[in-house]
Structures are given as structure tokens and as C-alpha cells.
Amino acid sequence: MAGTIIIVGLGPGAPGDISLAADALLRESKNVYLRTEKHPVAAYLRERGASFKSFDAIYEQAPTFEAVYEAIADRLVALAAAGEAVVYAVPGHPLVAEASVAKVRAAAAAAGITISVRPGLSFLDALFTVLPFDPADGLKVIDALQLARQKPDMTAANIITQVYSRAVAAEVKLKLMEDYPDEYAVTVVRAAGVPGEERQAVVPLYELDRIPWVDHLTSVFVPATPPDSPSRRRTLAALTEVMERLRGAGGCPWDREQTHATLKPYLLEESYEVIEAVDAGAMDKLCEELGDVLLQVVFHAQLAAERDDFVVADVIESIVEKMIRRHPHVFADVTVRGSGDVLRNWDKIKAQERGGAGRESALSGVPKHFPALMKAFKLQAKAAKVGFDWDSIDGAHAKVREESAELLEALALGDRAKVEEEVGDLLFAVVNVARFAGVEPETALLRTADKFYRRFRYIEETAAAMGRQLTEMTLAEMDALWDEAKGK
């Protein structure tokens, strides 16, 4: 018959904080295991005649805390499975920031072993008595070892637990400094509520790992940033708040007049400016322009929120779900052999999402307002996926020569409508060559336009330096300067 596991909270450290029931259980039970003996209550229990073992040796052997907690869970479950009644004692409250307990409960449930919990005073209760804040104003509790996955909430107070050592404090410092100023004042508390052992220090964030007495009983309190703090401007919430104010009563008259339709040209304009920054390799400019694009997203979301259509959180949720759904090779058990498989899966998933509705053509899904070169490129790529394509780039290039000849014939006839049609056919054929060559035609033409601009400006500037007007120069003279510009 399987035994049981009783999980007991030892409180934050002061012997007087341990409950009478827990005290009696720990003294009277035969199989008592402490997660760690490095806790002020351990000495008190030994003085009271309690007999126990600890898992401190595992900390020395296991490579990670995760491995430590798994080893503890395996050991306790094995004892209980052999019919033992086991008491497992942990610091604080068993269900507050105690990762090992989660491992034990999961392993016990899988093995069909009964678990019961005897609560204890949480370390948070002790911290609340020594820190000058009210948790009702907002509090987030984060395990120091989870900071890579949990971001602090700058609008609320944060308590960083399990700051075991100066090395961990250094990691915490670096992570917090991604959002908070280097000089931001934080409070370091060791052994809160333990007579004779409690220590506190208020230090600037950059000095967090310089405190010599940081150990396994240490937590770090990070107060909420003031409403007008520049640090808060790093959050999406800050941008949405600005947008709400601009659109609200007493806000900006121009912003209040905008609609989804009137904002369309600004989104296009900002997107092109992002592309320009990327091409220039200007990271500062790219940061700024991405912010402008983000503003457009938040602006549209605010307009929708005012009509109860959706809010910015819905936008975020939608794209997060889509990215997870369309990357089953990352978030599920699908196997891919390269980016080609990824793209094929992507198209299949898109088709499944739309359920075939409105998908009568292989060419569906290309936005009608795409720039002409981009639209041609996308249509050709979609047709190629179902086999409507040249065997090689040679066929595409031959089509360019054919369309060029037909354009010359139309020009000779002087038929304007026919000329326009043949110019379109020629451009479409050139786009096909670009697709075969792996070149984005829109990007290629933009670069050529920029190159033309630079070379023509050289002609203008050189002519001006010579005291000449372009209108006074011959084509041969301008061509000579053009050739000079090509060599620059």
C-alpha cells in the first residue's frame, strides 16, 4: 500500500512563526526531510528534539535547480511508494514561490500517491511587515531564476525571490537594467522577520551584486515606477495610454478626426520609411521608424476599441496564436528539413484556416492594393506553385525579348492603348525573370531609382561648380558627367 507525503511550511525563518501543528508534526514524525537545512528554523527543530534529513547534498551534485527539484521529487515519491509516510518541510509557505513543491505534487499525482499540505507563514508576509508599501497597490512576485521568462511590471511593485547569491544578484541586476535606470533604488532584504538575522539595504540597481551578505534568504524589492517616470515609456501600455489621451476629450483635434480610412496613407508611408532605414543600415533610424509603424497599429486599435470592435490586446493575441499555429515545427511535433518545408506547411495551414471559403483560385490572397511590381511578383509565385511556370530562367528571359519586340511594333503603329498594354506585358515579363533570379523586383527598382538620383545629382552639382546650367549643356556633356558619376 502506498504511503503519503505531507508538505509542511517552515515559515520565513523566525522560530515563533512556525505553527504549533507543524512544530508537533515535525517533532513526532519519523521520516522528515527538509529541502535545505540552511534555514533558521532547522536549528530550533533540532533543539526541540526533531530528527530530520535534508537534501542539501543534492544541491552540490545536480547541475541546475531544476535537476535538484526533480531529484527531490523522485526521492520522496520513491519513499512514499514503498509505503512510507513522509514529511517534506520547505521554507515559507509550501505553495508560495516554492518550485520543488510543484515538482513533488506532479510526481506524486502521476504515481497515485496522496499529498496533503500544512501551510506556513509565507516569506511575503514577513516582507510586508518591513517594506514600506501596500501590496493592494499592485505586486508581482518573480523567482530570480525565472526573470528571463517573466518581465517585471513597471506599474506595480515587484519582489524578486530566491536571490541565492551574488552571482544570481548580478544576473538579476542585468535583467532589471534592461527596463529600469541604472540608479533606480531597490531594497535588498535578508531573513525578513528573523530576530538577529534580518538585514536591509537600499541601493542603486547597479550596486545590487556588490552586497556581501546576499544569500539563500535574500529577496529584492523593486518599487513601482512613478506615473511620469521615463522608464514607463518603454512599455506598450504607455503608448496605448498616450493614444487614448490624444483621442479623448481635450486631446488632439487632428487625432480625434482620424478614421481607419484616413490613416491608410500614413501606414504605407511609415512602412516605406522602415524599408529605407533597413537599406541604409541605420539602426537608430530603424528604431524610430518601427516606432512610427507601431503607432499606426495602436492608432487603429484605439479607433476599433472606441467602437467596441477590438482592442490592442486582441491584435496581440491574434498574431501570437497565428505564429504558434503556423510554426508546428517549433511549437508542436512536426518535423521539417529546411525553410522549403516551412513555407509549404505555412501555405497549407493558411488554406486550412480559411476553410476554402473564398479560395476559388490559386491566385487568391494577393492584396489588391499591393504596388504593381509586388502584385505581379506574388501572382507569378502563386501560379508557379501549381506548376504554371517556365522550366528555367531561360524561358522567362526569352519572354522578355518577345514582349520587347511587341512593344516596338506597337510604338511603330502609334497605338497608345496597345503601347500601354505592351509596356505592362514587358514589365510583367521582367518581374518573372527577377523571380527566377531570386530578386525582389520592388527592391531592385527602388535601388536603381536611388542610384539614378545620386548620379543625376552629381551631374547637377558638378555643372553648378562649373557655372553651367543643365539646360545649356549638350547630352554628350551630361553623358560624360554621368560616366564620371558611375565611377564614384
Along the 488 residues of the chain, how does pLDDT read in single tens digits?
Answer: 578 999 999 998 888 888 898 899 999 999 999 999 988 889 999 998 889 999 999 988 888 888 999 999 999 999 999 988 999 999 999 999 898 999 999 999 999 999 999 999 999 999 999 998 899 999 999 999 888 888 899 889 999 998 989 999 999 999 999 989 999 999 999 999 888 899 999 999 999 999 999 998 899 999 999 888 887 788 888 899 999 999 999 999 999 999 999 999 899 899 989 988 998 899 999 999 999 999 999 999 999 999 999 999 999 999 999 999 999 999 988 888 888 888 888 878 877 887 655 456 778 777 787 888 888 888 888 888 888 888 899 999 999 999 999 999 999 999 899 999 999 999 999 999 999 999 989 888 888 988 999 999 999 999 999 999 998 899 999 999 999 898 87
Query: What is the tens place of the pLDDT at every residue in 442-472?
Result: 888 888 988 999 999 999 999 999 999 998 8
Predicted local confidence at residue 13, as pLDDT? 86
CA distance 100 to 445: 60
Do 380 and 437 contact (CB within 8 A), yes or no?
no
Do 190 and 218 contact (CB within 8 A), yes or no?
yes
> Which residues, in sequence order, are CB contacts of 337 under 8 Å at separation 6+?
none
Q: Determine the residue type at 13.
A: G
How do beta strands 218-222 and 157-161 pair?
Answer: antiparallel
Predicted local confidence at residue 220, as pLDDT? 97
Do 77 and 7 contact (CB within 8 A), yes or no?
no
| CB burial of residue 379 (10 Å; 0-12, 13-18, 19+) | middle
SS3 139: strand
For residue 425, the number of C-alpha atoms closer than 13 Å in the C-beta half-sphere is: 18
Do 331 and 349 contact (CB within 8 A), yes or no?
no
In eight-state DSSP terms, residue 411 is H
